[in-house]
Structure 1
Amino acid sequence: MSKAIFKILAKVNKALLPSYTKQQLDLAKAKKWQLAIIGWRYYVTKNALD
């Protein structure tokens, strides 16, 4: 996928998905779906910055 698509996805993620850093979520206590959201946001952010 192109970098432009990931930049658009990153903006959508920021607008729609919750920020667990601001909520100070403990990763050890996070549920599976919360970890999936964290992983997705990481993947999109990593590819948008490369």
Structure 2
Amino acid sequence: MKKQIFKALAKFNKKVLPSLTKKEVDLAKASKLQMALFAYKLWVTKNALD
């Protein structure tokens, strides 16, 4: 059940949240908000794939 929640959350994130790679954001120069968004999306993706 946990995996299903993360998969649904990943689909929602893909449609709603901005893509940092398409905007070509340099992670070394990213703002704290961009870094938090990146970390959140990475965490959701990791849990969706487990």
Give the match for residue 26 of structure 2: 26
Give the match for residue 47 of structure 2: 47
Q: Is 1:8 paired with 2:8?
A: yes
Q: Identity of counterpart residues, as a percentage?
A: 60
Aligned length: 50
Q: Deviations over 1:5-46 (max 9, x none)?
A: 000000110011110111110011100000000000000000
Give ranges in structure 2 of 5+ residues lacking alignment. none
Aligned amino acid, residue 42 of structure 1: L
d(CA) in 1 for partners of 2:31 and 2:4?
Answer: 31
Q: What is the TM-score normalised by the length of structure 2? A: 0.94
